[in-house]
Amino acid sequence: MLCNGCEKCADICPSDAIEGKAGYIHMLDGFACSKCGRCIEACDAGAVIQTADRVPRLPDKLTKCGRFKKKH
């Protein structure tokens, strides 16, 4: 819900594990991710977080920023 589609995370990812385009929520591929943490540091919006067990609900398709609603 915090992603503003700025693409900073995707630009800095050395593994090309982040997909998306400007203005859309970016998605991280957990299998391709090297867990370096650069995307967390690059995200000014605080949208990229590290989780231990419980993964927050994420969109399942390309979604325009501001259109993703968290269901309870």
Taking the chain (72 residues) in runs of 10, the rounded mean pLDDT of each run is 92 94 91 94 92 79 81 54
Q: What is the pLDDT of residue 57?
A: 78
Report field, pTM of the whole predicted structure over 0.95? no
Residue 69: its pLDDT value, please? 72
CATH class of the 1-72 domain in this structure: alpha beta
CA quadruple 31, 36, 42, 44: dihedral, nearest 10: 80
- Residue ranges of domains in the chain: 1-72
Selection from 57, 60, 51, 54 nearest residue 72 by Cα: 57
